[in-house]
Amino acid sequence: MQDHDPPARHVGLHRLVMGLLGPFIPILGLMEDVSPRVYDPMAARWLLMVVCLMGFWLSFRVPRHQIRYLTLTAGYASYIWFIYCFARNGLPPANIVGLVLLVCIVSFAIETPLELLASMASILLSLLYLAVATHDPGTPMHIVFTMFLLLNVGFGYMGISRSALEHRLHEANRTLEARVRERTEALQQTVERLDAEATVREAAERQARAASQAKSDFL
């Protein structure tokens, strides 16, 4: 829907999210290295940081209305990786709650109903994957992912509503600008026509005065 540039504050938020998420992922991994069990290799976390920082770098070079796709890419890449890690290590639902930040990041960048449906589908698929991989489709897991879905729908709906309002405002501004341009052109044409009529009238008056003067001189 959105084919116009978003406000500068939205662009700044996307850059802030990617700029903070990138270093945040390996920092948490370094904090977990003190644990006797390593749940995921640091190389993967460094790679996710590169993805996030690459998105931050590209945000200054792509059209502004495409920046949110960089945020979606960084958020989905991190979410998918950590879901895989949780399934491989059989972590309890209490650990999976930590993914709420990534769910919010992805939901924050949603602006179309199709993107919201895709995001909801990814959450449901990850729930199914974890239930099969861990052989523990218990109630706590469902509660966690129900919270994810509620956050996803809430943030996604707000993003869709905001995008629709911005689109209508953009269209209203374009319509207003077109009407102002039409009125300005019409006014300019009217002024030019009046100037032309005044010039013709002035020339006719000069000719009439010249003819009257010539007649007086003849008499």
DSSP 99: G
What Cα–Cα distance (Å) separates residue 204 from each residue in 196, 197, 199, 215, 218? Answer: 12, 10, 9, 16, 21
Whether residue 197 is contained in a domain is answered as no
DSSP 37: S
Q: What is the pLDDT of residue 58?
A: 92
Give me the sign of the Cα torsion angle 68, 74, 77, 80. negative
Whether residue 39 is contained in a domain is answered as yes
8 Å CB contact between 50 and 18: no
Residue of 99, 70, 71, 94 whose CA lies nearest to 84: 99
Q: Which amino acid is at 140?
A: P
Its pTM surpasses 0.85: no
Nearest 5 degrees, angle CA 157-CA 158-CA 159?
A: 90
**Residue 66's CB: how many other CB atoms inside 10 A?**
12
| Parent domain of 44 | 8-173
What is residue 62's three-state secondary structure? coil
**Residue 175's CB: how many other CB atoms inside 10 A?**
10
Q: How far apart are CA 73 and CA 26, in angstroms?
A: 18
Give me the sign of the Cα torsion angle 113, 118, 119, 121. positive
Whether residue 195 is contained in a domain is answered as no
Instruction: Give pLDDT < 70 ranges for the chain.
Output: 1-9, 32-38, 135-139, 214-215, 217-219
Q: What is the pLDDT of residue 64?
A: 82
Q: What is the pLDDT of residue 72?
A: 92
Q: Domain total for the chain? A: 1
Q: How far apart are CA 172 and CA 50, in angstroms?
A: 40
Torsion of CA 49, 121, 101, 85, to 10 degrees: -60
Whether residue 179 is contained in a domain is answered as no
Whether residue 2 is contained in a domain is answered as no
Distance of CA 95 to the CA centre of its chain: 30
Q: What is the pLDDT of residue 153?
A: 93
Q: What is the pLDDT of residue 195?
A: 85
Whether residue 38 is contained in a domain is answered as yes
Whether residue 178 is contained in a domain is answered as no
Whether residue 218 is contained in a domain is answered as no
